[in-house]
Amino acid sequence: MAKIIVVGCVDERLPEVVQAFLNSHGQTGQYLLANTPAPSLNFKDQDRTLTKVAAVKGASEVWLIDHLNCGGYTLAGEDDSEENHEKHLASAKGELEGEYGFRTVRTFIASQNDEKEWEIKEVHV
Ligand SMILES: [Zn+2]
């Protein structure tokens, strides 16, 4: 039973980090992870997954997990700053709540610290 649709980045470093984060937050078995480049910019690539999982599984939440140093942002000609990620996460959250009707949309930014360890923090946009 997937109650959360998690949209992460296709960056090869991320899926393992995101799954460890979700499992450590008690979400094991509760989510479906869908990956697309730069989630806040391209979450609509997962349109079919979002609508079908919501309809079939009753998922009511979406978690969008962006990350810094994202190739998808560079490819789109977007500034890779935290502020710009927050701006696009806010816009995506608005659409997911408005047009898609999800009750809960949570937004996160993953980044690496000086020791190259990943941290994922929730941003309230
Ligand atoms: Zn990325």
Amino acid at 47: D
The DSSP H or E segment spanning 16 is: helix 14-24
SS (H, E, C) 91-120: HHHHHHHHCCCCCEEEEEEEEECCCCCEEE
- Residue 123 to residue 125: CA distance in whole angstroms: 6
Alpha carbon of 40 to ligand 1 centroid (Å):
10
Tokens standing for residue 87:
């701006």
CB 102 within 8 A of CB 79: no
What mean pLDDT is predicted for residues 65-75? 97
The DSSP H or E segment spanning 6 is: strand 4-8
CB 64 within 8 A of CB 39: yes
Tell me the per-residue pLDDT of 12-61, one tens digit each, with 9 for 90 and over.
999 999 999 999 999 999 999 999 999 999 999 998 888 888 888 788 89
Q: What is the mean pLDDT of the chain?
A: 94
State the pLDDT confidence band at 1, using cuts at 50, 70 and 90: low
Alpha carbon of 97 to ligand 1 centroid (Å):
23
2 pLDDT more than 90: no
Query: Higher confidence at residue 82 or residue 47?
Result: 82
Return the DSSP state at 76.
Answer: T
Alpha carbon of 29 to ligand 1 centroid (Å):
24
Tell me the per-residue pLDDT of 104-114, one tens digit each, with 9 for 90 and over.
999 999 999 99
- pLDDT for 92 equals 97
Architecture of the domain spanning 4-122:
3-Layer(aba) Sandwich (3.40)
